[in-house]
Amino acid sequence: MSTSLPVVNEPATGGCTDAPVLRERGQREVFCGLTGIVWLHRKMQDAFFLVVGSRTCAHLLQSAAGVMIFAEPRFATAILQDRDLAGMADCNAELDRVVAELLARRPEITTLFRVGACPSEVIKLDLHTAAQRLDRENFPRVRVLSYSGSGIETTFTQGEDQCLKAMVPHLPAATDGQRRLMVVGTLADVIEDQFSRLFSQLGIGPVSYFPARRASDLPPVGPGTQLLLAQPFVGETVRALQARGATLLQAPYPLGADGTTRWLAAAAAAWDVPAEHFRRVTEPAQTRAATALQRYRGALEGKRIFFFPDSQLELPLARFLSRECGMQLVEVGTPYLDRLLTESELALLPAGTMLSEGQDVEKQLARCEAQHPDLTVCGLGLANPLEARGLRTKWSIELVFSPIQGYDQAGDLAELFVRPLDRSARLTV
Amino acid sequence: MQLTLWTYEGPPHVGAMRIATSMRHVHYVLHAPQGDTYADLLFTMIERQDKRPPVTYTTFQARDLGGDTANIVTRAVQDAVDRFAPKALLVGESCTAELIQDNPGSLAMGMNLGLPIIPLELPSYSKKENWGAAETFYQLVRTLLLERSKAREPRPGRDGRRPRVNLLGGTILGFRCRDDIAEVTKLLASLGVDVHVSAPLGAEPDDLRRLPDADANVCLYPEIALTTCSWLQRTFDMPTISTVPIGVGATRDFIAEVGRVLAIDVSGVLGGETLGAASLGSSQSRMPWYSRSVDATYLTGKRVFIFGDGTHVVAAARIASEELGFKVVGLGTYSREMARDVKACAEKYGVTALITDDYLDVERTVAELQVELVLGTQMERHIAKRLGVPCSVISTPIHVQDVPARYSPQMGFEGANVIFDAWVHPLMMGLEEHLLQMFREDFEFGDGASPSHLHSVAPAKPEGPASAMVSESHGPAITPVVSEPAPVSVQSPTATTVAEASGAQHETPSVAPTWSVDGEKELSKIPFFVRGKARRNTEKYAAAQGIDVITTETLYEAKAHYGR
């Protein structure tokens, strides 16, 4: 591989901007939006998530959350029971009781999210109005917000989008028109710190992260706010922020060295950072990332990869793996395709990439088996069965829960894809 | 509305999935929204199944709700039948679909698919996983035996053939079912009894049709199989063998019951079992001798708390008390269906049964009871870890660690061996416990010292399949943990009490006795695993005697008063 640095403004060859997309409808092997709570409650340490749903919701959360992490979590489920379904008046009183119980137990909580789930949506339990009432009663000690993480409306990472969107109306207004950067989408704390250092060296600021480490630290928004997206699943949040005057910076996501450079460059352009300064600041990190990637490229180059839809990270990951690791994309599935969020990614995908949206899992499994890719990215329910059919797999959920963004994680990200191949090469049993 | 942090059981449709997944040629169409497919990972990750569960989800969305969700059901049913060609089809709904009342079971029945359809009505808002599994198994058996149940056939005689029984209740995601079935099969073979059908685990629909051709049913796990066994008994006059052979005593009782029910001579096997004999040859299990060997003396009277499903709790209480010489100080179950049995068992050991599915109740109880060993589920393992108490897992809900690669039954004589090891290893070994008591101040015997045969520091190893993502964190303990207050001013030569030294609690002088610095220091010489009990006893004694300040003297007076 050449050691030259990626050129930021290199035109994409072909791209998938207008490529046909296979749209499928059928059984989906994807989590619902409640799953976002698993990382959101860790990210925002003063927030509590109360799911209003069924035993299934509680069971999903504990199964998805590493099958059981037994610290007292900052989330819980108010399980609807027969008597709640009998009369609606009861439900609100019951919920008030449950919330009071929770707030008494957890005095450190400053923000309580009441999270709608499928059953509460179907019986049309109005969590929003109830949350507004509770908010009036408990603010400023506790802010009470609501959103839906139900499977009938949201898929896996969309839960975060709904959560952030619920916070948008409460962000303080930045009326001074000052240019400020807001990074949208949960990032690991360590990565936030890395990016903060880079932004500061580039002279980009003030910078805020949304969500912040404390739910009560709400970043200001207004005309002049420039949105840089850290995650490809915050579409509705972006639209709500745009409605409050913010401007979206189009960029690919900060996965891989090239992705990170393009991502930073979008902000740098908005701040009129001179090209030479940009190069000087990012060059050492780009070089480190190139060195780290070099180690893994050999194992991935030419290998064929298949993505089942899961986290919405599929497009940026596919772009990273094809452009920076030399992998061939067999099929790139995504739960839904939001063009506002994926414009820059689509442009960077190799022309002719097979894109699919939604899922009919049986048909997709048949395509996958027929193609027999070297590596398949899929959810936990599919991984072992595919392994048993001779396919090497990577759990997509691990990519959501691992720090993978930025220059200094580019090598780690590649390594996550190398590991299943490496393991398979080592084993003789 | 019930506030839940963690749940012992999943919803009832997960119970139905366990039945479908345990069997061959059975498929389950589940009317459910996106997200409910999470349950697949229980099977593929926890139980490490190499196939997907045989479940088709309809995956309806909000935008379908106004329209024709019923159409989505019939399409999913047709696709599943075409693609998987099952010999029996379960059709049901998850919690959300229950609310939209499409009646998928009836829809499927109306499709004339030419195979047995079992419509499942599993009320999600009142019932739970084990109930769902039991009900599904029962409905499946009943539907497949519908014709035979009407025929009122007479019980066939044995006609010189070997006696044979069905083993009922083993499931995927049950606790060690795979190995229990193998062990019980071996045990029965030694009695000259064949296993006719083992179900649901390993069976197919045609096997269920053959159930009445056995001489009796062994109800291995009442949570799952009791309803079915009772129905078979009522309908086909099949006797139920109901002793669950977990533990040496229960295994002996099981053999005796098999002999009685099948009218066969089991003295050949039972005769080799000598009750109360202290030798290696006194049983087919090593457990009786190990338990009687002097090395096990240190187990005597250890305070154990037992929690789990009904079957394993009742069995564990007997083993703990009669076979290992522990003292059962508390027990309970999350299984309301088994509450009566567990309450009766608790009565036998002079304790009150804790019937709850709130793990905070359990944690509070474990803390209050000052136990030395917890026998529980994965929930209790975490509770015990937080309270610094050894624990062994005896029951579902299971974890990837409860599906070991090695042969590891709970039932039969080999099961008793496995249990001896699993329960005793987390404890301090005999002489080590003595050394720790004698040389308490050895710098290597810190309070964090764990048994030397275990890892000295609990390794931060991944806890489960997905747990690499979220590390196990030690959040704030939420219960009145029997915490050791920091040794306040231990070096201080003054005779001030700890309370004075820390300037606390002036307003409650005589209610809670305070510890003198001497007394606290002496207490700290007591090994950490019994220190909580010593503290509690001493404080109780001091309060009873009207002693305000606990000195070294008080500590030893209390010791004399209470004994060990």
Q: Is residue B451's pLDDT more than 70? A: no
Whole-angstrom distance, CA of residue A324 vs CA of residue A107:
48
Residues A118 and A191 in one domain: no
If pLDDT is split at 50, 70 and 90, which confidence band does B536 have?
confident
pLDDT digits 0-9 by tens, B301-333: 999 999 999 999 999 999 999 999 999 999 999
Q: Are the Cβ atoms of B46 and A397 closer than 8 angstroms?
A: no
Determine, yes or no, domain membership for A66. yes
Q: Are the Cβ atoms of B57 and A27 closer than 8 angstroms?
A: yes
Q: Are the Cβ atoms of B56 and A27 closer than 8 angstroms?
A: yes
- Give residue A83's pLDDT: 85
Q: Are the Cβ atoms of A63 and B42 closer than 8 angstroms?
A: yes
Q: Which residues does chain B have within 8 Å of residue A401's beta carbon, measured at their own beta carbons?
A: 468-470
Residues A255 and A308 in one domain: no
Q: Are the Cβ atoms of A27 and B11 closer than 8 angstroms?
A: no
pLDDT digits 0-9 by tens, B44-53: 999 999 999 9
Q: With a CB-CB cutoff of 8 Å, which residues 233-272 of chain A face chain B?
A: none
- Give residue A217's pLDDT: 93
Of the residues A218, A241, A270, which one is the last residue of a structural domain? A270
Pick from B308, A263, B54: which is nearest to A248 by CA?
A: A263
Q: Are the Cβ atoms of B33 and A150 closer than 8 angstroms?
A: yes
ipTM: 0.92
pLDDT digits 0-9 by tens, B79-126: 999 999 999 999 999 999 999 989 999 999 999 999 999 999 999 999
Residues A298 and A417 in one domain: yes
Q: What share of chain A is helix, strand, coil (3-state, %, to 5)?
A: 50, 15, 35
Residues A185 and A228 in one domain: yes
If pLDDT is split at 50, 70 and 90, which confidence band does B534 have?
confident
Within A124-246, strands assigned E span 143-148, 180-184, 207-210, 225-229
Determine, yes or no, domain membership for A162. no
Task: Locate the chain A residue with the closest alpha carbon to B385.
Answer: A70
pLDDT digits 0-9 by tens, B254-267: 999 999 999 999 99
Q: Are the Cβ atoms of A84 and B478 closer than 8 angstroms?
A: no
Q: Are the Cβ atoms of B50 and A382 closer than 8 angstroms?
A: no
Q: Report the gap between the CA of B470 and the closest CA in chain A (Å).
A: 6
Task: Locate the chain A residue with the closest alpha carbon to B401.
Answer: A67
What residue spans of A2-54 are helical by DSSP H?
37-43
Q: Which residue has the higher pLDDT, A113 or B449?
A: A113
Residues A81 and A204 in one domain: no
Q: Which residues does chain B have within 8 Å of residue A42's beta carbon, measured at their own beta carbons?
A: 470
Q: Which residues does chain A have within 8 Å of residue B33's beta carbon, measured at their own beta carbons?
A: 32, 118, 150-152
- Give residue A139's pLDDT: 87
Select the residue of B1, B41, B125 nearest A381 (Cβ to Cβ).
B41
Q: Which residue has the higher pLDDT, B80 or B158?
A: B80
Residues A266 and A301 in one domain: no
Determine, yes or no, domain membership for A311. yes
Q: Is A366 on the interface with B (CB under 8 A)?
A: no
Residue A225 has phi, psi (to 5 degrees) of -75, 125
Q: Which residues does chain B have within 8 Å of residue A119's beta carbon, measured at their own beta carbons?
A: 95-96, 99
- Give residue B486's pLDDT: 33
If pLDDT is split at 50, 70 and 90, which confidence band does B532 have?
confident
Q: Are the Cβ atoms of B59 and A27 closer than 8 angstroms?
A: yes
Cβ contacts of A237 within 8 Å, gap of 6 or more: A161, A164, A165, A168, A184, A210
Any idea of the CA torsion for B416, B346, B330, A98, to the nearest 10 degrees? 120
Q: Report the gap between the CA of A325 and the closest CA in chain B (Å).
A: 24
Q: Which DSSP helix (H) or strand (E) runs through B328?
A: strand B327-333
Q: Which residue has the higher pLDDT, B505 or B250?
A: B250
Q: Report the gap between the CA of A27 and the closest CA in chain B (Å).
A: 5
Task: Locate the chain B residue with the closest alpha carbon to A149.
Answer: B35
**Interface probe with B: pick from A23, A37, A61, A70, most Cβ of B within 10 Å:** A70
Q: Are the Cβ atoms of B4 and A397 closer than 8 angstroms?
A: no
Of the residues A270, A305, A337, which one is the last residue of a structural domain? A270
Q: Are the Cβ atoms of B11 and A54 closer than 8 angstroms?
A: yes
Determine, yes or no, domain membership for A173. no
Order of strands, sheet of B240-241, starting from the edge strand that comes earlier in the sequence: B194-200, B164-170, B216-219, B240-241
Tokens read off for A165: 């969107």
Select the residue of A56, A62, A66 nearest B36 (Cβ to Cβ).
A56
Residues A133 and A63 in one domain: yes
Q: Report the gap between the CA of B25 and the closest CA in chain A (Å).
A: 17
Cβ contacts of A196 within 8 Å, gap of 6 or more: A207
Q: Which residue has the tokens 């052979």?
A: B245
As a whole number, the mean pLDDT across chain B is 86
Tokens read off for B27: 């498929």
Mean pLDDT value of segment B127-154: 95
Q: Is A42 on the interface with B (CB under 8 A)?
A: yes
Select the residue of A66, A97, A388 nearest B50 (Cβ to Cβ).
A388
Mean pLDDT value of segment B403-424: 97
Are A337 and A11 in contact, with CB atoms under 8 Å apart?
A: no
Residues A184 and A312 in one domain: no
Q: State percent of chain B over pLDDT 90.
A: 66
Select the residue of A71, A73, A155 nearest B474 (Cβ to Cβ).
A71
Mean pLDDT value of segment B434-456: 57
- Give residue B439's pLDDT: 62
pLDDT digits 0-9 by tens, A3-53: 334 444 444 456 999 999 999 999 999 999 999 998 999 899 999 999 999
Are A114 and A127 in contact, with CB atoms under 8 Å apart?
A: yes
Q: With a CB-CB cutoff of 8 Å, which residues 74-103 of chain A face chain B?
A: 75-82, 84-85, 91, 94-95, 97-98, 101-102
Q: A336: domain range? A: 21-28+289-427
Determine, yes or no, domain membership for A58. yes
Q: Report the gap between the CA of A110 and the closest CA in chain B (Å).
A: 17
Select the residue of B59, B99, B463 nearest A26 (Cβ to Cβ).
B59
Q: Is residue B484's pLDDT more than 50? A: no
pLDDT digits 0-9 by tens, B20-39: 999 999 999 999 999 999 99
Q: Is A105 on the interface with B (CB under 8 A)?
A: yes
Residues A266 and A337 in one domain: no
Residues A293 and A423 in one domain: yes
- Give residue B436's pLDDT: 63
Q: Which residues does chain A have within 8 Å of residue B61's beta carbon, measured at their own beta carbons?
A: 152-153
Residues A244 and A300 in one domain: no
Task: Locate the chain A residue with the closest alpha carbon to B14.
Answer: A56
Determine, yes or no, domain membership for A370. yes
Distances (CA, A) of B277 to B252, B282, B287: 14, 6, 12
CATH number at residue A62: 3.40.50.1980
Query: Which residues make beta-bridge pairs with A328?
Result: A304
Determine, yes or no, domain membership for A170. no
Specify the number of domains making up chain A.
3
- Give residue B557's pLDDT: 87
Determine, yes or no, domain membership for A5. no
Select the residue of B3, B5, B99 nearest A73 (Cβ to Cβ).
B5
Of the residues A154, A189, A219, which one is the last residue of a structural domain? A154
Residues A249 and A294 in one domain: no
- Positions of chain A with pLDDT lower than 50, given as ranges: 1-12, 67-68
Q: Which residues does chain A have within 8 Å of residue B399's beta carbon, measured at their own beta carbons?
A: 67-68
- Give residue A64's pLDDT: 79
pLDDT digits 0-9 by tens, B492-501: 333 333 333 3
Residues of B annotated as catalytic are 295
Q: Are the Cβ atoms of A64 and B38 closer than 8 angstroms?
A: yes
Q: Are the Cβ atoms of B469 and A397 closer than 8 angstroms?
A: yes
Cβ contacts of A278 within 8 Å, gap of 6 or more: A202, A264, A265, A268
Q: Report the gap between the CA of B463 and the closest CA in chain A (Å).
A: 7
Q: Which residues does chain B have within 8 Å of residue A103's beta carbon, measured at their own beta carbons?
A: none
Weakest mean pLDDT among A268-272, B479-483, B519-523: B479-483
**Interface probe with B: pick from A152, A155, A364, A396, most Cβ of B within 10 Å:** A152
Q: Which residue has the higher pLDDT, B76 or B465?
A: B76
